[in-house]
Chains A and B, each alone.
Chain A
Amino acid sequence: MEIKVNKETCTGCNLCKKVCLYDAIEIVDGKAVINENCIFCGACIEVCKLNSIEITGLKEEQKDFSDYSGVCVYLEANGDRIADVGFELVSEGRKLADQLDVKLSAVAVGSSIEKSALEAFQYGLDKLYLIDSPVFSDNLDDIFAKALVQVITRYKPEIFLAGATWFGRTLIPKVAAILKTGLTADCTGLEIDKEKKILLQTRPTFGGNILATIITRNARPQMATVRPHVMEKKKIAQDKGDYKDRIEYIDIDEKNFKSKYKLLDTEKELNENINITDYDVIVSGGRGLGGSEKFSMLKELAGLLRGVVGASRAAVDSGWISYPHQVGQTGKTVNPKLYIACGISGAIQHLAGMQTSDIIIAINKDPNAPIFKVANYGIVGDIFEVVPMLIKRLKNKILLV
């Protein structure tokens, strides 16, 4: 396998050198030369106007995947409830299954989850595989992986989708590794290549600066994770069908599901809500807040909007608020309907964690703060003036109604 530049057609225009993120291209005697830093990412191939660069010698086995059919979605449970991302994926899976003209199934694993899992039928599900046992009351990666592997190997879906929750991001790679297939993390776009009937998986890399479309070659199922809130959950016209014959209860032999992980303790921060990825509204504070006591103002605003408080890395590193609230590349990636950034300048690592929010409001006293580059609404002003006034205004409305 090698990457080659066609010396006949290359004009040494420098475009490829400019896009290469790995310092792998030099222009020597007016021609591009690719060195050993190359990671075969293909960015130069994409940008070359003369089609002078190609990867050769990649073995393409033609494997027969005709026994794999259908789209399958993992319904991850949080306690006895199926997390919303599962339903979002059922909606997305429906579209993909229709394009391929195949069935859409889902697999739910957990304890006392049947009632919640049934909701998935409202989003267009054909078949539900249900593994409901007290063995699965805690998130023990290894036995969940085993359960999912059993379902996938038995029913052989061609596509398998799961939520990129923190549990999903550790569990699903394990599943892919056992099945010996590819996995694409954190997809923001899924499409079917109608001709080849394969899944095109698009995801951001480099903190959202680049999008890459990825395919799974030589293995099935084609597996992808998708972050919560990225896909839209959409109920389909009332499905009056009797769910009963569309549920398959999978009995497991409990003694085969003994985890190697011993869960000793679970702590939730009871006084504050730290599951910020789960909310439609996030009010975040940064360095401009100046201290931990000022976060109470943001908590009040968040409360009025039925949201939750987030923070920039600067605020967390200063010890004003705990790490689980941190939004950004080193913290959590969020995409709520509304994100209000208060006194956050907008370092690139923060933007990477929130720029896909539906609506972003930035309040900052520096008109040149980078946060305004991603915001939909900007207020140049003092957060200590603006935020309390906004709280007052919202409270008035609440009183009037």
Chain B
Amino acid sequence: MIQIKIAVCIKQVPGTTEIKIDPETNTLIREGIENIINPFDAYAIEEGVRIRERSSSEEVEVIALTMGPPQSKEILKEAISVGVDRAILLSDRAFAGADTWATSNTLAKAINKIEDCRLIILGKQTLDGDTGQVGPELAQRLNIPFIGYASSILEINRNKMKVKRLMEDRYETFEINLPAAISVVKDINTPRVPSLRGKMKAKSVEIPVWDANQLGADEDEVGLSGSYTQVVKIFTPKIKHEIKMIEGSPGEQVEKLYKELKELNVI
């Protein structure tokens, strides 16, 4: 019997390493960018799967969730291929344009619909939005504790967990009651590559799609309409970059650099 249901919230993002800026128009060139699973979410998936593997019997179920356009189903299949038990796609035109508040609302409704999730795992932030806010906002919506930047889960059972988090200058170990939500840093594990069996399963799996109606969400509480923040302008930073190359033998280079540093008052 399933004792611990774990929801892993993931997102499909454009792979930023591919983004280029057109030097003439100073605009972004998107052509040829592939959509990928948010790299930080791979650690969240892996941690969910590891918790299940550590438990003695079939007590743990790991469910991957994503909110996004229909094509986001691809990353849910990827999650299945590395060991997630099942996946749900939250997709509706009404969800588009959501800020972190509206996103956390949609996710909270889905998690309530799944029922009895004991742990929610997220990546520390997404590659595109880069805010790291969905985790704590989601936890607050569900009125459960949240631990950010988790670097290790020391113990977990249905009712409690011991978890270590990384702060800028220290590690802190907490005991918290479940249900709870955590966001993980890459230190927590090394994500596996899909097995052949996993790939087969991902190929054939049917992924249910939940829309606003099925979540019982009003249009006013999701997507751009349900957001408190709104983007009013997007632009590329003006790069007025100049580099001074310091030439010469290593000795001369060091001497010149030393002088520059002195002039800049940094030494």
Contact = CB atoms under 8 A, between A and B. Distances in A.
Contacts of A165: 168
Contacts of A338: 261, 266
B59 interface: no
Interface stretch (A90-98, A235-243, A286-294, A384-392): A384-392
B210 interface: no
Contact of A211 (B69, B94, B137, B234): B234
Interface string A260-273: 11111111110001
A237 to B, nearest CB: 24
7 contacts: A42-B231, A185-B132, A211-B235, A217-B228, A264-B175, A265-B172, A338-B261
Contact of A166 (B33, B69, B149, B230): B149
A217 B229 contact: yes
A397 B246 contact: no
Interface string A358-373: 0101000000000011
B116 interface: no
Looking at chain A's contact residues, the main secondary structure is mixed
A323 B266 contact: no
A382 interface: yes
Given A185-B132, A397-B267, A268 B223 contact: no
A208 B258 contact: no
Interface stretch (B50-58, B75-83, B122-130, B199-207): B122-130
Contacts of B96: 36, 38-40
A180 B228 CA distance: 8
Contacts of A262: 174-176
Interface residues of B, number: 97
4 interchain residue pairs of minimum CB distance: A40-B97, A182-B228, A275-B169, A177-B140
B256 to A, nearest CB: 9
Contacts of A176: 101, 133, 137
Looking at chain B's contact residues, the main secondary structure is mixed
A355 B175 CA distance: 37
A252 interface: no
Contacts of B141: 177
B264 interface: yes
B114 interface: no
Given A21-B30, A173-B100, A177-B141, A330 B234 contact: no
Given A42-B233, A166-B148, A217-B229, A275 B127 contact: no
Interface stretch (A103-111, A116-124, A199-207): A199-207
Contact of A267 (B27, B69, B171, B185): B171
Given A20-B30, A58-B225, A182-B229, A210 B266 contact: no
B245 A380 contact: yes
B94 to A, nearest CB: 8
Contacts of A52: none
A2 to B, nearest CB: 8
B245 A173 contact: no
Specify which of B28, B140, B220, B254 lies most central, judged by the most chain A CB atoms within 10 Å of its CB. Answer: B254
A332 B186 CA distance: 12
Contacts of A359: 264, 266
A19 interface: yes
Interface string A140-170: 0110010000000000000000000111011
Given A18-B29, A274-B168, A323 B229 contact: no
B28 A182 contact: no
A93 B251 CA distance: 47
A178 interface: yes
A209 interface: yes
Contacts of A348: 16-17
Given A206-B127, A260-B145, 11 more contacts: A1-B94, A39-B98, A46-B233, A46-B235, A59-B225, A174-B136, A186-B131, A214-B230, A215-B229, A359-B264, A377-B260
B106 interface: no
Interface string A268-311: 11000111111001000000000000000000000001000000
